[in-house]
Amino acid sequence: MAPRPNWKGYLKLSLVSCPVALFPATTTSERVSFRTLNRATGNRLRRQLVDDQTGDVVESDDQVKGYEVGKGEFIQVEDDEIKSVQVESNHTIDIEQFARRTEVDELYLDTPYYLTPTDRVGEEAFAVIRDAMRAEKMVGLARVVLFRRERIVMLEPRAKGITVTSLHYANEVHQAAGYFDEIPDLELPKQMLELATHIIDKMTGKFEPEKFEDRYENALIELIRSKQKGMPVKAQPARAQTNVINLMDALRRSVEGAGAPGGGTGGAKGGGERAPDKKAEKAASAKKAEKTEKAAPKARATPAKARTRKAG
């Protein structure tokens, strides 16, 4: 069965336009979901909305949206009145600006969609807009109404189509300064950084999303299967987390145990892109750091202690 579009309308660049459809690029349909049941009967429960003051059940025909203008004071707004609100982006993705992809901060990215032409007549105009952005290495910025909200969207060529990613507004993104300002500036020993970069080097590989599984989801599935077979559910022991007392010692042991992504020891895929002599140089620096650590353990332990005190 063909996927259903979330939105249909027109893609517009100046005087060039074409009919398009917007499809979700991701899905959560395979996630484990639970229903709420009556423990005594095993039957499904259904929720009812009740009047906050009288406690009476209010049927759907008697429900209306309200905007609170004061404590306990609301303005009622009918669905037809909401539908009557029209802006151009209700039916048109009108590209307002172009920018380099690197200029769009990752924090603003929200939900991805696929954009495709909907008829033969519009395919040429769609291809012109797509290929022009690709040639200039630009992304388009526009606005469109989705789910009763006007959203900023970023348009980017992808294969034969265009991806549309909804963006957060500026007032929806918290500034990092409020969270990071209290993190102290530390003078880290060179040996520590060399050990850490050596670990990163050994664990570097290509991002292959199919290698990552939702382990929590899999554990839920196993729990359900066990109950389905009438088997007792065994609680999984939690892995104990220990505080790092000696950071240099922890880094040294990590260098000894670090392998390829996924726990292997044969080196990371894609690591061949880095020059072999650079790897050898980093490995030599790491070994040198291990020897140096025994000579002055107190000096190198200081940053770890300072960080621990700050966290407390």
Residue 43, pLDDT score: 93
CA distance 52 to 62: 14
Judged by DSSP in three states, 292 sits in: helix
Whole-Å CA distances, 208 to 204, 256, 260: 12, 25, 13
Domains parsed from the chain with CATH numbers: 7-25+85-172 (2.40.290.10), 181-206+245-264+275-311 (no CATH)
β-strands 92-94, 7-13 pairing? parallel
Residue 273, pLDDT score: 42
CA distance 255 to 191: 12
Residue 213, pLDDT score: 87
Whole-Å CA distances, 180 to 174, 175, 183, 193: 12, 9, 6, 21
Average pLDDT, 10 consecutive residues per value, the chain (312 residues): 84 94 90 90 92 91 92 90 78 95 95 95 95 97 91 96 96 91 90 88 88 84 84 75 73 72 42 43 50 42 39 36
Residue 9, pLDDT score: 94
Residue 80, pLDDT score: 87
Residue 167, pLDDT score: 97
Residue 133, pLDDT score: 96
Element (H, E) at 139: strand 139-146
CA distance 302 to 32: 46
DSSP letter assigned to residue 88: G
Other C-beta atoms closer than 10 Å to the C-beta of 248 total 24
Residue 30, pLDDT score: 83
Whole-Å CA distances, 30 to 18, 81, 214, 308: 34, 36, 11, 41
Residue 253, pLDDT score: 80
DSSP letter assigned to residue 5: P
CA distance 88 to 171: 23
Residue 276, pLDDT score: 42
